[in-house]
Structure 1
Amino acid sequence: MDDPNRIVSASRRPKALIRLLDSQQIEVVLHSRLSVEDVLRLVAEKVDLSFPDSQYFCLGFSDNLNNFHWLDGSVILYDLVASTSNPKGTLTLSHHVRFFVDTIYEVQCASTAKLFFFDIHNQLARHELLVTSEDYFELVAILVSVFVPDCQEHTTAEAISRIMPMSHPPYILLKTDQSEVERRVFEKFRYYRRLPVGTGMISFIKLAEKSESYGYRMYEALNENNDKCILSIGYKGIYIYRRSRHQNLITPYLAYPWRVIDNLYYRDKKFSIEIREPKKNESSENVSDDVILINDRQLSEAFSHPTTQVSCGRRRSNNQQPRVLLFPFTCQTPLVCRTVWMSAIAQHRFFLERKELKKVSGDLLFFLPFLFRQSVLLLVFQSPFRPGGAHFAQKA
């Protein structure tokens, strides 16, 4: 017989509820040595993720300001629960795609592609996937064909509300009214409902890949003039968006590809991007007019401050320190600032690893398995797959 004391002891242990992208949930009883990496392996088995595809995913949580924070694989979940205001309660975490690839055909198996599809759906529902109006109508139409295949013209509004719980993005409604959106969506839905669901999923992902914000996480911040802006962190670099004060619209402002960023650092709520000064023969289109040009003494003081965390920057071959362009931002909280910095470092590392992989293996060797996976994914996705259970876009 089981020891009653052991059963009672186990029931008192804190638990973690893991929300999966396909709307399933996993409850895990935490112990003193269970790490995020351990739970990721459990989730990978549950959702049929194999290596190396599993490296694209990670666990995280949303704070009360709806900012998403990624957890490092070495974090002990028991300690994380103990540090919260409710140490005996349940820790709620979400499983998401952290690292996006240039094309979905780079993933190894169809189960991974399905999870990418679910995550991109969430990004669209959060209004963080910025696309043209035509692409938006098509994306929503594909979602309706996948999740509400029996949709009729008079039930289009209800179907859209199921898959887009936050309604349409403001930039769409600025140009098109609600009824016109529904009409255009149903018009495109009539085409996609005749196709296999998997084909629609692949079409959805490929269409989303055209967006400059594809796979990016957005964080509210203030720029040096205390104007609201958004820091968008992803696998291609850091994008800055402006937010209008009245219409709640976001528009692209600055783009920093990883190749032009020399350093990233943060202190308390301050996050800064250090850009190398463009040479005279280089284009400076991406550098704003109101850029702060700091001197070497200011930079030295910032880097030597005990609370400043600095990423590994490029080493200069010459002894003369060039002037730098520094773009400072103020995040909502120190935790958000740390998350932005850590996310940027992780994304930059992923960018370098992918670049090195293509360089070492060579273009031909890299794209041969790519072409093979393209044909395999298309073949697997011809099956009449329907997502199990009711799937709704998650807030995280």
Structure 2
Amino acid sequence: MEKLRNEAAIVQLLDGKFIEISLHARLTVEDVLQVLASHCSLNEADKGFFGLAHVDDRHNYFWLDEETVIANLSFSGEPPGKIHLTHSIRYFVDSIYSLSNAVTIELLFLEIHRQLYKGELLTNGSVYAKAAALLMRVYDSDIANEETALSLLHCILPIPPPKRVFAYFSGSENQMEGEIFSIYCAYRNMPRGDAMLNFLQLISTWPRYGCRHYTVLDTDKNSCLLAVSNRGLSLYENKDSIKPNKVYTWDVLDNLYYKDNEFMIEVRIIGMPKKNNFEQPSLDCSMLSEDDALAQAVLDPTTQ
């Protein structure tokens, strides 16, 4: 019998816990997703929002196709024996109210909180303060004083805060924290479920909601941030930018080319007919990826 490269998969869940799954020669990603859906109490309608991914040390997501057999997978820098994977949100909903299961909403909340903590979700200072106050209410409704509130705040949000947020409060951490605590006091009696829904609904309006982010180089070899989502591609000047410099929805992207480290995207001018097979394509946008993660993201069915 052929020896398997991996004997077990260590899967990290959104609540931070890990589950170990023994592997055999025919166990596929779809099989593991079924096990995880049962473990997390996901219903049939909502389990399709989740996927299984390998996340590298730069936090790039490599989503695995459902037909993939896990036992013989290999990733750079990971020794054989046990493969480490992540169970996470793969398809983000446009509206939180399209979800039918409270468990799914809770898991989406954990994913969004993780992205907010890592600085992947940004907005202006006043809206950020409101989101922070709602987040505090989700985790604790009975904070007696501002000192206790600040202790919680430092645990659930990045310290120091994003540069744009800090600048909004004139570089004063005390001013920012005081504003957040003041808003929290108004939410103190709000039910936890309502606070969570309001938090998610607020975040879903932010430009970078529902995206996976990749650091790339443009044609002039300047570093920038590319956000890939089910809506299309958005190009940001850097990780601290709130609004994208360019947005390309999938309906204007005719062809995607990838060779070595070079990424080329053909953008169709709105109002112009699609090119036929006899025309020579012209490239309006090209980028250089620092690694293969961007290529896999754009070619992934999630983004089509």
Q: Give the structure-2-normalised TM-score.
A: 0.89
93, 106, 113: which one pairs with 2:85?
93
The equivalent of 2:200 in structure 1 is 205
For 1:170 and 1:242, how far apart are their aligned partners in 2? 14
259, 264, 267: which one pairs with 1:272?
264
28, 36, 45: which one pairs with 1:43?
36
**Residue 234 of structure 1 pairs with residue 190 of structure 2:** no
Shift of 1:14: 2.7
One-letter code aligned to 2:290: Q
66, 71, 76: which one pairs with 1:78?
71
5, 11, 14: which one pairs with 1:21?
14
One-letter code aligned to 1:164: L
Q: Secondary structure at the match of 1:65?
A: coil
Contact 1:266-1:341 within 8 A present in 2 as well: no
235, 250, 274: which one pairs with 2:241?
250
The equivalent of 2:293 in structure 1 is 336
Unaligned runs of 5+ in 1: 1-8, 283-313, 349-396
For 1:235 and 1:211, how far apart are their aligned partners in 2? 15
For 2:6 and 2:50, how far apart are their aligned partners in 1? 26
Shift of 1:81: 4.6
Contact 1:270-1:337 within 8 A present in 2 as well: no
The equivalent of 1:32 in structure 2 is 25
Shift of 1:230: 0.8
Q: Greater Rg, structure 1 or structure 2?
A: 1
For 1:166 and 1:16, how far apart are their aligned partners in 2? 33
Contact 1:269-1:337 within 8 A present in 2 as well: no
For 1:13 and 1:188, how far apart are their aligned partners in 2? 50
Describe the shift of the 1:67–1:60 C-alpha distance in structure 2 as closer, same or farther (beyond 3 A).
same
**Residue 219 of structure 1 pairs with residue 236 of structure 2:** no
The equivalent of 1:173 in structure 2 is 166
Q: Which has the higher contact order (CA 8 A, sep 6+)?
A: 1
The equivalent of 1:285 in structure 2 is none
Describe the shift of the 1:113–1:170 C-alpha distance in structure 2 as closer, same or farther (beyond 3 A).
same
Describe the shift of the 1:52–1:264 C-alpha distance in structure 2 as closer, same or farther (beyond 3 A).
farther
42, 53, 56: which one pairs with 2:49?
56
The equivalent of 2:100 in structure 1 is 108
One-letter code aligned to 1:113: I
Describe the shift of the 1:114–1:82 C-alpha distance in structure 2 as closer, same or farther (beyond 3 A).
closer
Q: Which moved more, 1:134-143 or 1:270-279?
A: 270-279
Shift of 1:84: 5.5
One-letter code aligned to 1:107: L
**Residue 259 of structure 1 pairs with residue 251 of structure 2:** yes
For 1:76 and 1:156, how far apart are their aligned partners in 2? 47
Q: Which moved more, 1:166-175 or 1:195-204?
A: 166-175
The equivalent of 1:326 in structure 2 is 284
Deviation readout 1:22-61 (Å, 9 max, x if unpaired) = 2232111222222211111111111111223111110112
Q: What aligned pairs does 1:359-370 form with structure 2 within 5 A after superposition?
A: none
Shift of 1:221: 0.3
For 2:49 and 2:213, how far apart are their aligned partners in 1? 18
Q: Give the structure-1-normalised TM-score.
A: 0.69
Contact 1:276-1:325 within 8 A present in 2 as well: no
Shift of 1:65: 2.3
Deviation readout 1:255-295 (Å, 9 max, x if unpaired) = 0011211112211221222111345xx8xxxxxxxxxxxxx
Q: If each structure's helix is expressed as a fraction of its own residues, which one has the higher value?
A: 1
For 1:112 and 1:213, how far apart are their aligned partners in 2? 21
Cα root mean square deviation, aligned: 2.5
For 2:100 and 2:128, how far apart are their aligned partners in 1? 28
Shift of 1:320: 5.8
For 1:210 and 1:69, how far apart are their aligned partners in 2? 26
Q: Secondary structure at the match of 1:264?
A: strand
Contact 1:236-1:258 within 8 A present in 2 as well: yes
Number of residue-to-residue matches in the alignment:
298
For 2:54 and 2:14, how far apart are their aligned partners in 1? 13
For 1:187 and 1:25, how far apart are their aligned partners in 2? 37
